[in-house]
Amino acid sequence: MQQFVEQAKPYAKYGKVADYIPALRKADPNDLSIAIYAPDGTVVCAGDTQEKATLQSISKIIALAFVLMNRGEEEVFKKVGMEPTGDPFNSIAKLEEKQPPKPLNPMINAGALAVTHMIDGADVDERFHRLLTFVHRLAGDSAITYSKEVAQSEFETAFLNRSLCYFLKQHGIIDEDVEPLMDLYTKQCAIEMNCIDLARIGLVFAMDGFDPIQNDPIMPPHIARICKTFMVTCGMYNASGEFAIKIGIPAKSGVSGGILAAVPGRFGIGIFGPSLDEKGNSITGIKLLELLSKTYSLSIF
Amino acid sequence: MQQFVEQAKPYAKYGKVADYIPALRKADPNDLSIAIYAPDGTVVCAGDTQEKATLQSISKIIALAFVLMNRGEEEVFKKVGMEPTGDPFNSIAKLEEKQPPKPLNPMINAGALAVTHMIDGADVDERFHRLLTFVHRLAGDSAITYSKEVAQSEFETAFLNRSLCYFLKQHGIIDEDVEPLMDLYTKQCAIEMNCIDLARIGLVFAMDGFDPIQNDPIMPPHIARICKTFMVTCGMYNASGEFAIKIGIPAKSGVSGGILAAVPGRFGIGIFGPSLDEKGNSITGIKLLELLSKTYSLSIF
Amino acid sequence: MQQFVEQAKPYAKYGKVADYIPALRKADPNDLSIAIYAPDGTVVCAGDTQEKATLQSISKIIALAFVLMNRGEEEVFKKVGMEPTGDPFNSIAKLEEKQPPKPLNPMINAGALAVTHMIDGADVDERFHRLLTFVHRLAGDSAITYSKEVAQSEFETAFLNRSLCYFLKQHGIIDEDVEPLMDLYTKQCAIEMNCIDLARIGLVFAMDGFDPIQNDPIMPPHIARICKTFMVTCGMYNASGEFAIKIGIPAKSGVSGGILAAVPGRFGIGIFGPSLDEKGNSITGIKLLELLSKTYSLSIF
Amino acid sequence: MQQFVEQAKPYAKYGKVADYIPALRKADPNDLSIAIYAPDGTVVCAGDTQEKATLQSISKIIALAFVLMNRGEEEVFKKVGMEPTGDPFNSIAKLEEKQPPKPLNPMINAGALAVTHMIDGADVDERFHRLLTFVHRLAGDSAITYSKEVAQSEFETAFLNRSLCYFLKQHGIIDEDVEPLMDLYTKQCAIEMNCIDLARIGLVFAMDGFDPIQNDPIMPPHIARICKTFMVTCGMYNASGEFAIKIGIPAKSGVSGGILAAVPGRFGIGIFGPSLDEKGNSITGIKLLELLSKTYSLSIF
C-alpha cells in the first residue's frame, strides 16, 4: 500500500488545494492517506491516518442515506431527481431549463441542499445532532464531530449555495428559511474524520448497509444500493463518467480532497489527498484508486 | 383620448393581473388610465387619473438615470452590460453562461439589482430618500411616496431576486449584504404615483432630461438618451423587439400594469392598466400606445 | 418468464410507438418478446421470438465496441467524451456550451455519429460490411442484415442528425462528407434481428467480451467493460439514472423498443417491446427488467 | 470627412480581418472608405470609394425588406421572431430552448436563412435574380453583381449554416432542400458593391423606403421602418445595445467590414473597413460612426 501511495504522491503537483472556502486553503497539497477496511475488521493503511479532514461533498451521500431512511424513496425523489448531468456541481442554469425546476440529482449542490432540507428535527441543533449520530454509527466512532472553523468559513462565503437555496425556495422545493438551512448544511459539510473512519463508512455501503464489525444492520440494502448507484453515476462531479470507465468503483469525493469508496461485498476505502484536479476531485486519490482498481480488478463492470 | 381608452379596454380580458407579488393581486384588471404631458404644460387624460399604482420595473429606468448621474457611465457599465437578451426578465441561466457573469443589461432583474446596489447613502433609509427626492423632482410632485404594503409583500416573497443577488455577490458584482439591498429594491419598486406623475417623468426623458415646466435641467442629455435607448432595446421585457416594431416609442413597463413612455421632443405618456399579457406588459396599455402611435405617427423609426 | 411478460404487457398502453421515423410507426405496441441467454447455451424465451426489429440506438454500443477495438481508446476519446448528460439524446445546445464542442458521450446522437465516423473502410459499403460482420460474430448469426425500408425512411427524414453532423464538421470532430456518414449511420441503426440474437450479444458483453458458445474471445475485456459502463451511465437516454437505481443492469435501449442488457458474468438479455415512454425507452421492456431484477437480484450495485 | 477617416484608421490594429470564410482573409485591414448620401444627391466620400466588398450580413436587412414586400408581415413573422438576443449570431443553442424553435429575429443567421428561404422563384437562379434586381433598384446601380469566388468559398465551408438549416428543416421552419438554399444564401451574402452604392441603399431606408434621387417609392414606409427597427435592436450582432447607446443610428454590419447606416430623414451612410472587433463589426467603421454621431448629433434617441 505504501508503495501505491508513493506512486500517487507526485501527481499532487498537477492539482491545487480548494480555495473557494477560505479555511480549506491551509491544507498541505502533498498530504495523502488511505485506509482499506475489510469485513473481518482488517484495516490496511498508509500515510498519516490520524490526519483529519472535513467531508464536504462526501456528506451528501451520507445525508441522502439518512433522509431516504427517514422519509422514504417516494418523498425524497419528489424533490430531487435521479439523473446525472454534464454540468458542474454548482450550476444553476440547468435548474431553470427543467420544468418543474427539480434538481437533477442529490449529488449536485442544489440537490444536496434539497436533501439536507429533509433532515427532520426541531431546530438546526437537533437536526445536526441526528445526522451526526448516524455518522457515529456508520463509522463506529462516537468521537467524530465537526470543524467549527471550516463550518464558519463556509457559512460566511457560501453565496452561490444561498443563491441555489433561494431558487429552490422560489420553486417550492424547499420551504424553510435559508439561513438555518445554510447553517445545517455547512455543519454537515464540516464533519471531520480520518481516513480510517471514512473507510469504515465505505465498508457499510460495500456490505449493503450492514456493519459486519458490530453486526449492525444500519440501513436497508436497497438504500445502500441507491447510494452506490449515485456514487457511480454522479459521485465524482462531472468526471463521474470517466471515473466509472477507468476505475469502476462506487465513490464520492469532496473538495477537501476526501474520497469515500465502496467495493461491493469486499471492502470500504477512505482517502484524503487535498490536491484537486480541475473538476474538484483529489488528484492523488484518483491515481491511488486507479492503481488499486487495475491491480486488484475492483471495477464493478 | 377617451375614445382610445374605450377601444383598448376590452383587451383587458385577454390578460391577467400580476399574481407573483401578493399585494398586486387586488388590482382591478379593468382599470385603465392615461395621461399625455406636453412641454407647454398641457395634460390630456382619460380614465381615473387619481388612481395610484406602484412603479415596479418602471423604477429600473429611474434608478438607472440616478445612478448614471451619481457614478458616471464608466463605473455603471463595469457592473452591468448594454445588450438586450431574449430571456425572461428574471432569468438566471444567462448569467452563468457569460464570463464574467455580468448582467446583460439594467432592465432585467439581475441588472436592476446591480444598479440599485450603486445608489449611494449611509443606510437604506438615506439611499431610498435620495432616490425618492429624485423622483419628486422628475415628477414635480413632492407628495409621492411608496406603498408600505406592496414593499412588504414583495420583500417577503422575493426569493428569486434574492437568488439573483447572491449569485451577483458570489461573482463580485455586488458586495453589500443582500437583505438591505432587497429592502431598498422592494421600496424602490413600490414607489406609487398616478398616471399624470408618470407622464411628467416621461416628458423629462422626452425632452432629453430637461423639465420644461420648471425650466429645470434635471439630467444631462446623454444620460436621458442612454435611458431612452434601453427603453427601446429592452424596456418591454422580452417583447421589446415587437413593441419597437409595432409602436416604436421608448417605453418602460412594470408588472403593476404601468407604462412610462417618452416621445422624443414631443411629450411624455403615463399609463396604468393592470391586466398583463404573458410577457408581463399591460395588455390595454400596449393597445392604447399602438392606437396613439399609428394615429399620430409617433414611432421614432 | 411467460408470466413476467403477461405482467408487463398491460403497461404498453401508457406509451406509444416511435413516430419520428415513419417506418417505425407500423410496429404493434402490444408486441413483447424476451430472450435470456446463459453462458452454457441455455435460452429462455417468451413472446414471439421470431419477430425482428431494428437496433436503432442499441447499435451505438456495438459500433463503440467495434471502433474501440479498431482505433483504440485514446483516439476514440479524443472525439467523444465519457460523461453522462441530463439532456435529451438529440440535444445540440450542450455541444455549443462546451469548449471544445466535443460530444459529451457516445450514447447521445452527436457522440454516436462521431463514433460511426471512425468506422474504417474504403466506402460506405465496405464500412457497413465490416460492422455487420462484427454483428454476425457477436450474435453468432451470419444471416443478420438490415431493413432497407427503415434505413431509407430514416435517411430521408434525419434532418436533426444532419444538423448535428454539420455542427460536428464545423468543429472538426468529423471530417468526411455528411451524406455518406448519414447513409452509414442509418444503415447501422436499421440492422435487424430478433430478441434471441440480441440476448446473445448481451451475453458477450456480460462475459467481458468472450463468447462462451463459440469459445471466441471477440473483444478485449477492458473494452467490454467500457461499454457496460456507458450502458449504466447513459444507456437509457436521460432516464439512465433512474434505470440504474431501480434495475441496476447495464443496458442499452433503442426507439424501436429494443433493449440489450448484460448481467455481468451471468447472462445476456434481449427484449423487443415497441411501446415507448416519453424518454424513448420501451415501457414494457423496462417493466420486464424491473420484475427480473427484483425477483433474481440482478442489480450490479 | 477625410479627417474623421484619419482619426478612425489607427483603430484597425485592434481588430482583425474575418477568417472563417477563406476568401475574406485577403482583405487589407487598413482599408477604410466611407460615403454619405444626402436626399438632394450630394455625396461626401473619403478613402478608396471604388474598392468593392461583399455585403455578407448586410444582405440580411435587404432580403428582409424584399421578403416583407413579397410575403407580408404576417407570413414572415410566422417563421421568424422580432426579439433581440444576447447570443452570438451563429448560435444554435437558443433555438433549442424555445418552443416552437422559431429563430428569435431575422438578423441572426438562423433567422436570415428562414428569410432567404421565403424569396420566391422557380429556382435558385430566378430567386437570386429577383433579389439582385431589387438591390439594383435600391442602389440605383444595375451593374452590381456578386463575387463568385466569395460565394464559392463560403458555400464550401458553411457547415454551421447547414447545421442551422437542417435544424430549421427538422422543425418545419424551412421546407426546401438545404443545398439550393445554401447556394442562394451564399450568393446573397456575396453581392458586391462599393461604399457609395451602400450609402445610397442606406438613404432609401433613411427616407422611409422612398428613393429621392429617382423619385421612386421603392418600399412601403412601414417596411422601411421595420427594417430600421431591427437595425437598432439587432443590427450590430450582440453589440447592438452598446452601438445604440453610443451611436444611436440604425445600422447593419457584415463580416466583410461593411456597415450600412440610415439616419432617418437625413442621409444614408456606407462604410467598408475590414478590420473586425471580437463581435464581428468593423472596428474602424464603428469609430467613424461614433465620430460622426457625436459631431453632428445623429442619434435617434
**pLDDT for the residue numbered A98:** 67
Annotation says B237 is catalytic: yes
The domain segmentation of chain C, as residue ranges, is 2-295
User: What value does the mean pLDDT take over residues C111-126?
Assistant: 98
B57 is catalytic: yes
Contact A83 C240 (CB under 8 A): yes
Q: Is a pLDDT exceeding 70 seen at residue D120? A: yes
Q: What is the pLDDT of residue B93?
A: 66
What is the mean predicted confidence (pLDDT) over C125-129? 98
Looking at beta carbons, which residues of chain D come within 8 Å of B84?
83-86, 233-234, 240-241
All residues of chain B having their beta carbon less than 8 Å from the beta carbon of residue D241 are: 81-84, 105, 229-230, 233-234
The arithmetic mean of pLDDT across residues D258-266, rounded, is: 97
User: Which C-chain residues 74-93 have CB contacts (< 8 A) with chain D?
Assistant: 91-93
What percentage of chain D reaches a pLDDT higher than 90? 84
pLDDT in tens, B19-62: 877 778 888 889 999 999 999 999 999 998 899 999 999 999 99
Note whether C112 and C172 are within 8 A (CB). Answer: no
Question: In the predicted model, is pLDDT for residue D114 greater than 80?
Answer: yes
Read off the pLDDT band of D93 (50, 70, 90). low
Annotated binding site of A: 57, 109, 154, 161, 185, 237, 255
Annotated active-site residue D57? The verdict is yes
**Contact check, Cβ <8 Å, B97/A96:** no
For residue D12, give the DSSP letter.
Answer: G
Report which of C198, C170, C192, C190 is spatially closest to residue C36, judged by C-alpha positions.
C198
Q: Say if the Cβ atoms of C170 and D164 lie within 8 Å.
A: no
End-to-end CA distance of chain C: 24
Residue D255 assigned as binding residue: yes
A281: left (phi over 0), alpha (psi -120 to 50) or beta: beta
Predicted pLDDT at A93: 66
Nearest to C91 among D96, D163, D165 (CB): D96
The ipTM is: 0.92
Distance CA A107, CA A227 (A): 10
pLDDT digits (tens, 9 = 90+) for C168-182: 999 999 999 999 999
Q: Residue A124: in which H helix or E strand, if any?
A: helix A124-139
Minimum mean pLDDT range among A292-301, B162-171, C252-261, D93-102: D93-102
Write out the three cell numbers for B15. Answer: 390578460
The tens digit of pLDDT for each residue in A121-147 reads 999 999 999 999 999 999 999 999 999
Q: B127-130 long-range contacts, Cβ below 8 Å, gap at least 24?
A: B127/B184, B128/B184, B128/B187, B128/B188, B130/B66
Return d(Cα A54, Cα A147) in angstroms, integer. Answer: 7
CA C242 to CA A13: how far, in whole Å?
A: 38
The full 3-state SS of A30-68, as one line of letters, equals CCCEEEEECCCCCEEEECCCCCCEECCCHHHHHHHHHHH
Strand, coil or helix: B255: coil
How far apart are the C-alpha atoms of B209 and B207, rounded to whole Å?
Answer: 6
Question: According to the per-residue pLDDT averaged within each range, which of A76-90, A158-172, C81-95 is highest?
Answer: A158-172
Amino acid, res. D249: I
pLDDT at A89: 67
Q: Which fold has domain A2-296?
A: Beta-lactamase (3.40.710)
Would you place residue A97 in the very low, low, confident or very high pLDDT band (cuts 50, 70, 90)?
low
Question: Is D20 among the residues known to form the active site?
Answer: no
* CA atoms within 13 Å, Cβ hemisphere of A7: 11
- The pLDDT value given to residue B123: 98
> Which residues on B lie below 8 Å from D84 (Cβ)?
83-86, 233-234, 240-241
Identify all chain D residues contacting B241, using CB atoms and an 8 Å cutoff. Answer: 81-84, 105, 229-230, 233-234
Cα-Cα-Cα-Cα dihedral of A70, A73, A75, A78, to 10°? 140
**pLDDT higher than 90, residue C101:** no
- Could you tell me if A49 lies within 8 Å of chain C, comparing CB atoms? no
Q: What distance in Å separates the CA atoms of residue D18 and residue D256, rounded to the nearest whole number?
A: 7
Instruction: Answer yes or no: is C161 a known binding residue.
Output: yes
Confidence of residue C208 (pLDDT cuts 50, 70, 90): very high
Which of A91-100, A147-156, C39-48 shows the lowest per-residue confidence on average (mean pLDDT)? A91-100
Q: Average of pLDDT values for D46-52?
A: 91
| C-alpha cell, B110 | 439581475
Q: Which of D33, D57, D240, D293 is catalytic?
A: D57
Q: Does D95 touch chain B (CB under 8 A)?
A: no
Quick: pLDDT tens for A2-25: 888 889 999 999 999 988 777 778
Closest residue, chain A, to B177 (C-alpha)? A159
CATH homologous superfamily of D2-295 equals DD-peptidase/beta-lactamase superfamily (3.40.710.10)
**Distance separating alpha carbons of residues C264 and C285, to the nearest angstrom:** 19
pLDDT recorded at residue B24: 80
Q: Is the pLDDT of residue C97 over 80?
A: no
Contact B289, B259 (CB under 8 A): yes
Q: Say how many CB pairs under 8 Å bridge A and C.
A: 103
Low-confidence ranges of chain B (pLDDT < 70): 89-90, 93-99
Q: How far apart are CA D3 and CA C17, in angstroms?
A: 70
**Which stretch of C138-152, D85-99, D115-129, D239-253 has the lowest confidence by average pLDDT?**
D85-99
Identify which of D160, D166, D178 has the shortest CB distance to residue C160.
D166
A92, B91: Cβ pair inside 8 Å?
no
Identify whether the C-beta of residue A203 lies closer than 8 Å to the C-beta of residue A279.
no
Which chain D residue shows the shortest CA-CA distance from B206?
Answer: D301
Cβ-in-10-Å burial (0-12, 13-18, 19+) of A263 comes to: buried
Say yes or no for a CB contact (<8 Å) between A83 and C242: yes
Q: Kindly report, residue by residue over A202-211, the tens digit of the pLDDT.
A: 999 999 999 9
Q: Is the confidence at residue C286, as pLDDT, over 90?
A: yes
What's residue B80's pLDDT? 96
Tally Cβ neighbours within 10 Å of residue C72: 11
Q: How far apart are CA B183 and CA B201, in angstroms?
A: 24
Distances (CA, A) of A256 to A150, A253, A267, A273, B129: 10, 8, 22, 8, 47
Q: Which of D175, D171, D176, D174 is nearest to D100 (CA)?
A: D171
Q: Band of the pLDDT at A27, cuts 50, 70, 90? A: confident
pLDDT at D91: 72
**In Å, how far from its chain's centre is CA B237?**
11
Cα(C265)–Cα(C288) distance, rounded to whole angstroms?
20
Chain A residues inside the 8 Å CB shell of B164: 163
Phi, psi of B83 (to 5 degrees): -100, 135
CB within 8 Å: A87 and C82:
no
Chains that touch B (3 or more CB pairs under 8 A): A, D
Largest CA distance in chain D: 52
Q: Over pLDDT 90: what percentage of chain A?
A: 84
DSSP β-bridge partners for residue D252: D260
pLDDT digits (tens, 9 = 90+) for A253-297: 999 999 999 999 999 999 999 999 999 999 999 999 999 999 999
Neighbours of C78 (CB within 10 A): 12
Q: Which residues of C are catalytic?
A: 57, 60, 185, 237, 255
